[in-house]
Amino acid sequence: MYLWLKAFHVISVISWMAVLFYLPRLFVYHVENKDKKEFVSVVKTMEYKLHKFIGIPAFWATVLSGLGLIFLNPEIFKTGGWIHVKLTAAVLLIIYYIHTAYLRRKLEKDLCDKSGKFFRIYNEIPTILMIVIVVMVIVKPF
């Protein structure tokens, strides 16, 4: 059962990461083309559907399966400091995702004052956190 749950967790993470990588890219297109009403309308629809129909289910699948893995194997906390760093990075990803939902709502209402440059830099945060998580899980450096 544990390995099936682990496989489901990895699949969920991949789906969620796709949203974390693409949604801020849509934000770049959104703010850099705000004078093109029809284009922005399409991007708003894409942002909404990506968040609602892929992001939210993938987020919950990731979090719940991750908690399930911890519940089934609480001894993992005795395997080294890597798990603490990995979980810290995962919590930061959760905070980032919640913030993207907040920004999406602001963009939807045309109330966001962030620039394309901001969103280009903002888009790098999940990549950095993903690298930390993968290194911790695979290499287990400490």
**Per-residue pLDDT tens for 91-140?**
999 999 999 999 999 999 999 999 999 999 999 999 999 999 999 999 99
Predicted pLDDT of residue 104? 98
Which tens digit of pLDDT belongs to each residue from 44-54? 999 999 999 99
The identity of residue 71, as a single letter, is F
Split at pLDDT 50, 70, 90, the class of 14 is very high
End-to-end CA, the chain: 27
Q: What mean pLDDT value characterizes the chain?
A: 98
Percent of the chain at pLDDT above 90?
A: 100
Residue 80 burial (CB count, 10 A): 13
Q: Which residues contact 68 (CB under 8 A, 6 or more apart)?
A: 5, 9
